[in-house]
Amino acid sequence: MGCFPCFDSREEEKLNPHNNRDDHKSAHPNINSNISRLSSGGDRLKSRSNVGLRKEALGLNLPDSQIAAQTFTFRELASATNNFRSDCFIGEGGFGRVYKGRLSNGQVVAVKQLDRNGLQGNREFLVEVLMLSLLHHPNLVSLIGYCADGDQRLLVYEFMPLGSLEDHLHDLPLDKEPLDWNTRMRIAAGAAKGLEFLHDKANPPVIYRDFKSSNILLGEGFFPKLSDFGLAKLGPTGDKSHVSTRVMGTYGYCAPEYAMTGQLTVKSDVYSFGVVFLELITGRKAIDSTQPHGEQNLVAWARPLFNDRRKFAKLADPRLQGKFPMRSLYQALAVASMCIQEQAAARPLIGDVVTALSYLANQAYDPPGHSNRVSGGDKEERGGKILKNEEVGGSGRKWDLEGSERDDSPRETAKMLDRERAVAEAKMWGENWREKRRQNAQGSFDHGNNNG
């Protein structure tokens, strides 16, 4: 599924690095009118130095003092990809085609070439270069450089060998193993940390605006990184509650209030995250026309099932074959249900989502036939299920997964998750306090010995 402009499909203004006229002001409302020009790759024939991009261009307040993006000529990238041969082709999105390449220094990269007839254009190209030059986090894909040579627009990224999350969730070939439960939770937690950086660490906050499974790339060990920042926007500042913009995004992932009003907040990203998390839990696509009527929209299909504990198991991906802890499924559904609330104010902040998912990602689960442990290894599981009425986790709550619990709705599960998070935070505070006391006591002891 590509990106779509709901109300405006006009061709974007063209970026011409050789033009004396300031096109950048009209290209993006958040870009300062005196932004440094992007150098074309051809400029490197005269100067091989990197092109510095100013932090002030997007109004981001970040600690980095030197920010630069490497420039390439079109000839260099054509050589790196064997003239963009079909055997180097690895994917296609709203921006254009992506090829695997090898630079002259031997580095393997992904080269994304702008489709001049596509839905994304020079505005998105410029925003992506600036955003990824200014924002650095382990869960954001790294931009190596770009080419603005003549009318060619290309981006050069680190190569992510395992492709996108979408590749591992949907339309799997018969000989491809589905992602296991542990890996799904780790991917969700890592992707949430990328969003948390954009929302909470960038100043002002950055709203990603196109969070979807195809934009989560996977490295070794299925380590997730967010990619494709062409639609990113700076969030509201001061006393503003939102930014207004024409609606862009991917059908099935857009938050309802944003799709209807164009009012964008960080909670819009949280909704999109909830949809992707549901994809991870269920194995279903956000929009799937091959499903029966009434099940084609993932959120619309899942919402009624949240209210009936007896149907929770129906929400789990059948390809998991029951190889997941039911209690973790309840907790994961609780997080997903909170993220896709109709009202933006009812959704959690992404920082709270990270806390919850980090907890879930650390609950190691081994399938039947393996010796396994839960939450620190003090409670055994058998047959892939937590023992009936076994006490698990910090809350001390007893669980009966065979059906005797009356209050395992996502709402009650969310309350339980909050309690467990509070207990975990209290334990962490207690450990830090004890460590501080120990250090103070050691310091006093050493001081007394020195005086002696």
Q: Are residues 26 and 62 in the same domain?
A: yes
Residues 107 and 203 in one domain: no
Are 39 and 174 part of one and the same domain? no
Same-domain status, 89 and 177: no
State whether 285 and 187 are in the same domain. yes
Final residue before a domain boundary, out of 319, 341, 365:
365
397 domain residue, yes or no: no
Using CA atoms, how far apart are residues 452 and 447, in angstroms rounded to an integer? 9
**pLDDT over 50 at 430, yes or no:** yes
Identify the CATH number of the domain in which residue 308 sits: 1.10.510.10
Query: What is the value of pTM for the model shown?
Result: 0.72
Q: How far apart are CA 67 and CA 170, in angstroms?
A: 38
Domain boundary among 365, 381, 414: 365
Q: How does pLDDT run across 378-389, given as a tens digit for each residue?
A: 333 333 332 333
Q: Are residues 210 and 270 in the same domain?
A: yes
Residue 100 assigned to a binding site: no
Distance CA 341, CA 333 (A): 12
**Separation CA 101–CA 373 (nearest Å):** 43
- Going by pLDDT thresholds of 50, 70 and 90, the confidence category of residue 29 is very low
Give me the domain span that covers residue 173. Answer: 165-365
Residue 262: per-residue pLDDT: 87
pLDDT at 92 over 50: yes
Tell me: pLDDT of 253 over 50. Answer: yes
Hey, which residues are catalytic here? Answer: 210
Per-residue pLDDT of 112-142, as tens digits, reads 998 776 556 677 788 888 888 889 999 999 9
Is residue 436 situated within a structural domain? no
Two tokens, residue 355: 């806390």
pLDDT digits (tens, 9 = 90+) for 278-310: 999 999 999 999 999 989 999 999 999 998 888
* DSSP β-bridge partners for residue 155: 112, 146
The reply to whether 179 and 215 lie within a common domain is: yes
The total number of structural domains in the chain stands at: 2
Query: Which pLDDT tens digit goes with each residue over 215-231?
Result: 999 999 999 999 988 88
Residues 272 and 300 in one domain: yes
Q: Which amino acid is at 85?
A: R
Q: For residue 92, with 0-12 CB atoms within 10 Å meaning exposed, 13-18 middle and 19 or more buried, which class applies?
A: middle
Q: Highest mean pLDDT range out of 128-132, 350-354, 391-395?
A: 350-354
Extract the tokens encoding 333: 């559904």
- The answer to whether 234 and 208 are in contact (CB under 8 A) is no
105 and 205 in a single domain? The answer is no
Domain boundary, last residue among 349, 365, 381: 365
Residue 7, Cβ neighbours under 10 Å: how many? Answer: 8
- Pick 150 or 215 by higher pLDDT: 215
CATH code for position 120: 3.30.200.20
Q: Give 307-317 pLDDT, tens digit per residue.
A: 888 889 899 99
Please tell me whether residues 169 and 154 are part of one structural domain.
no
* Segment 17-32 mean pLDDT: 39
Do 303 and 209 lie in one domain? The reply is yes
Q: Is residue 404 part of a domain?
A: no
Whether residue 270 lies inside any domain: the answer is: yes
150, 180: one domain = no
Instruction: Output the CA angle 159-254-245, nearest 5 degrees.
Output: 95
Q: What is the per-residue pLDDT for 330?
A: 93
pLDDT bracket for residue 143 (50, 70, 90): very high
